[in-house]
Homo-oligomer: A and B are copies of this chain.
Amino acid sequence: MAQPHPASANGASGVEQHNGTPAFSPLYQQIKGLLLGSLQAGEWKPGESIPSEMDLAGRYRVSQGTVRKAIDELAAENLVVRRQGKGTFVSTHSEQQSSFRFLRLTPDAGPMKNPAAPQRHIIDCRRARATAEVARALLMKPGDGVLHLRRVLSFSNTPTILEDIWLPGPYFRGLTAERLAADERPMYGMFEAEFNVHMVRAEEKIRAVLPDAEQRRLLNLDGTQMPLLSVERVAFTYNDLPMELRRGLYRTDAHHYSNVLS
Contact = CB atoms under 8 A, between A and B. Distances in A.
Interface of A: 76-78, 101-102, 104, 106, 200-210, 225, 227-229, 232-233, 250, 252-253, 256-262
15 contacts: A77-B262, A104-B259, A106-B205, A200-B262, A201-B262, A203-B259, A203-B261, A204-B258, A205-B258, A206-B257, A207-B253, A208-B208, A208-B209, A208-B228, A229-B229
A206 B104 CA distance: 10
A78 B250 CA distance: 31
Given A77-B262, A262-B78, A252 B200 contact: no
> How many chain copies?
2
Contact of A203 (B101, B206, B210, B260): B260
A260 B205 contact: no
Contact of A259 (B250, B259, B262): B259
Contact of A229 (B77, B207, B258): B207
Interface centre among A77, A104, A209, A259 (most CB of B within 10 A): A259
Contact of A202 (B208, B228, B233, B260): B260
A201 B262 CA distance: 5
B257 A205 contact: yes
> 10 nearest interchain CB pairs?
A227-B227, A207-B252, A208-B227, A208-B208, A206-B257, A205-B256, A202-B261, A204-B259, A208-B229, A201-B262
Contacts of A77: 262
